[in-house]
Structure 1
Amino acid sequence: MMKLLFIFSIVLASRAGIALGQCTVTKDAYGQVITSCQAINYVSESSSLNKQFTFLGSEFSSFPLWQEGRIRLDNSGQELTCLLAYNLFSQEVLCQLGGDLPIRSVTPDWFMVNGVEYTRQMTNVLGLKYKLYTTALNSGQNKVLKSAKARLIKTPIRNGYDKDHPFAGYYQVDQQYYIQKGSAIPQPITLTRHSVLSALGDHRAKLKTNLSKTSLTVDEVIKLVSHYDSLRVIAQLNSTSLSTDPAFNEVLESDLTYPVQAWKAQVYSRIYVGFEITDAGQVINIGLLSPENVGFGFKEAVEEALSKLSTTKSAYKGRYALPVAFTYSYHPAKELTFLPVNTVSDERLGDRILLNEFVVNQVVQRDRVSSREVWGYYK
């Protein structure tokens, strides 16, 4: 029978304070996973009392604790095979490569154990970063994720099989669900209509039509996200027609230029401009969706170009978002191109159709590289 020794702290309910001990995870005669700890209760400075505590369950995701698995330390690294133990309390992944090599605590970008894939996420709580591992419950561009976190409930409970030896407490595993839109940071949700629709944001009205229940099951959330995926695909198909329209592209290519003040300052950026096309094909309500970069002219350049497109086909009726990447290259090393990395959130785009990105590249001669990306502020 496999087992793992580890050290952790227990806060006792007495006035004695803290007891430290070595714990072992095993199965008892009744098939229950238990954690047994030899603890030392410091009664006073001159005396102590040794005692064993037994808790139902464990901090780990499986039993036996050690399971064959694979890890990938980063996105570009190769997969390594090792024995894994995943601690749900500390979110620690223990790896044993075999032989006499020591057990290592690792922080992989990805790992798989018992056929389940886990991906590392980083979350911020009060300014502190914590690692978190999630599993994807569906495929597709937008995903429903789940994480598990164990906590020790230090409440004595009866042993259902052996009433003479109650447990000092038990490990409870809590589930947290998230929606991840593309490669964005996963957004935590509750299994309620309001929470899920708030996370999806755009297309909310269409998703809400056939959704009458307040509380949702996990399967219902997955189906809702799949429906959201299909709506996004339809929107993208609609956007392709305008993105490939010859008249639309001719206006952008002929009238959209790199602002002089921006290339003189050697700055580059990505901006998003929203606009609408009416039933009559008129282009109206042109406005900035991304932060304003005051003084560099990016916003003005795109708005001025779009204003030249006074009318277009009425078939393009809708609300659009046009991303424009202003990039910067140095001559003669044109391969040295500075590309903007900042993007806006889906919440900022709302239910707009996202068009294909238009790129405006500026090639200049400079003795030294000093370019920087600018990303302004929201008004």
Structure 2
Amino acid sequence: MIRLVLLLCTLSVLKTYGQIVVYKDDKGQILTKSDSYASGRQTATTATYTQVTFLESPFYTFPVWQEGKVQLDKSGKELDCELAYNLVTSEVLCKFAGDSAVKVITPELFTINNTKFVRLQNSIAGLDYRTYFSIVHNGPTKLWTSLTSQLEPRNSAEEVKTRYYKDLNIQGIYRVKTKYYIQKGDREPKLINLSKKLLLEAFADQAQALESKIPNRQLTTNDVIDIINVYDSLVVANQKSLAHLSKEELFKRSLESQITYPGWVGKQGIYGRVYAGFDVDAQGGIQNVVILSPENIGFGFTAEVKKALENLTNVSPDFKGRYAVPIAFIYTNKKEKSGPHIPINRLPEDRVGDRQMLDEIAVPYVVTMPVIASREVWGYYK
């Protein structure tokens, strides 16, 4: 039996669980036995002690402790230790050689049972947090999984209906949940499920080309990997033509020459980034110019960009397609030691859609004046 002391989440607010034992019975079933203390009615301080049993385990492995490696920070080296990974609490428990004490650690990465878990930044509901992911497919576009375990009460567990498990007084079952994430390049991982609809949303920039290649059924991880490979090949093919327009000097020089940093805005230390969308038609004409980022009416940035694109001469018809271009208005005050103020706001991927993103164009504004409070404008979407 594998013994480990920790506090588990509870089935009800009246119960707390103490020492637990994770073991395998003679039928090969993994079970978790826990001390339970329920508040008594006799006095405010009395409590009733019982033992409760759950199917499966809150831990990633059985036995709970496994030989593994941890890397505590990005610049450190991997260290050997015994590991236990709690999927309920997302805690990594570690015992280093010669040290019997159990440490709760938050490493940058750890390896257990030849599976490597990496700690990545992720945002959900506007909150930044860090969680562990294991990679399923590595490439320009990655497929990650994260594992969690939830304790379900007895009534929802089909496994406890047999007489054998009823006799054990099974209270519930630990269910492992697998979440899948797509990560494009170094962008934030995006949660998906294995469905055609969400994959097309994740790959909106190539949705039209991928539509016929994704089966109309519940997908497997191998299906998703195949789709990722097709997506990456389409992106590479598009980037070949994209690079020509991005680095086409006449287009860049013409656009840069048309855009002026609004002087009165610069003198107030205001800077920002504008994303514009446009189409190149079959004759090479610039059509359908739209501002994709918040317009920030009154500062002049979006008006400058829109006017510049609308006044451009035709480009080669070979560049026919839909594009997005970022324009960074960069403010520098030579009296400041901090250097130029470069905008940090970026356009969310879903607002780019199926447009090809061009290289950013910088529009600088340099002054020498008493230091003032500078600020970036971005605003809100309509």
Q: TM-score, normalised by structure 1?
A: 0.87
Report the equivalent of 1:280. 283
Q: Is the aligned partner of 1:34 residue 2:63?
A: no
Instruction: Report the equivalent of 1:78.
Output: 76
Partners of 1:291 and 1:378 within 8 A in 2 = yes
Say whether the 8 Å CA contact 1:6–1:24 is kept in structure 2.
Answer: no
RMSD: 2.9
Q: Offset at 1:11?
A: 3.2
Are 1:356 and 2:359 counterparts? Answer: yes
Give, in whole Å, the separation in 1 of the partners of 2:113 and 2:340: 44
Mapped contact 1:236–1:355 kept (Cα < 8 A): no
Deviation at residue 302 of structure 1 after TM alignment: 1.9
Structure 1 residue 101: Cα displacement: 7.2
Q: Check if 1:291 corresponds to 2:290.
A: no
Shift of 1:372: 2.0
| Residue 115 of structure 1, CA deviation | 2.6
Give 1:200's aligned residue.
Answer: 203
Deviates more, 1:49-58 or 1:340-349: 49-58
Q: Matched residues in 2 for 1:323 and 1:313: separation?
A: 21
**Per-residue deviation, 1:369:** 5.6
Rounded Cα–Cα distance in structure 1 between residues aligned with 2:146 and 2:76: 24
Pick one of 3, 22, 32 that aligns with 1:25. Answer: 22
Q: Is the 8 A contact 1:261 1:297 kept in 2?
A: no
What does residue range 183-332 of structure 1 map to in structure 2 within 5 Å? 183-331=186-334
Contact 2:121 2:128 in 1 (8 A): no
SS at match of 2:139: coil
- CA apart distance, 1:250: 1.9
Cα 1:160/1:173, change in 2 over 3 Å: farther
Give the secondary structure class of the aligned counterpart of 1:8.
coil
Cα gap change, 1:8 to 1:212, in 2 (>3 Å) = closer
Report SS of the residue matched to 1:168. Answer: strand
- Is the CA contact (8 Å cut-off) linking 2:11 and 2:151 kept in structure 1? no
Taking a change above 3 Å as real, the CA distance of residues 327 and 19 of structure 1, as seen in their structure-2 partners, is closer
Q: Distance in 2 between matches of 1:184 and 1:250?
A: 29
Cα displacement (A) at 1:128: 6.5
CA distance in 1 between partners of 2:266 and 2:245 (Å): 29
Q: Structure 1 CA distance, aligned partners of 2:14 and 2:2?
A: 32
Q: Distance in 2 between matches of 1:331 and 1:129?
A: 35
Which sections of structure 1, spanning at least 5 residues, go unmatched? none
Verify: 1:124 aligned to 2:124, yes or no.
yes
What CA distance in whole angstroms lies between the structure 2 residues aligned with 1:129 and 1:24? 34
Q: CA deviation at 1:49?
A: 4.2
Measure how far apart 1:325 and its partner are: 1.5
Q: Specify the code of the residue in structure 2 equivalent to 1:104.
A: K
Deviation at 1:162, TM superposition (A): 8.0
Partner of 2:90: 91
Distance 1:295 1:52, change over 3 A: same
Letter in 1 for 2:17: L
Change (3 A) 1:103 1:123: farther
TM-score normalised by L of structure 2: 0.86
Q: Which runs of 5+ in 2 are unaligned?
A: none
C-alpha displacement of 1:211? 2.9
C-alpha displacement of 1:117 = 2.6
One-letter amino acid of the counterpart of residue 114, structure 2: G
Partner of residue 139, structure 2: 140
SS at match of 1:140: coil
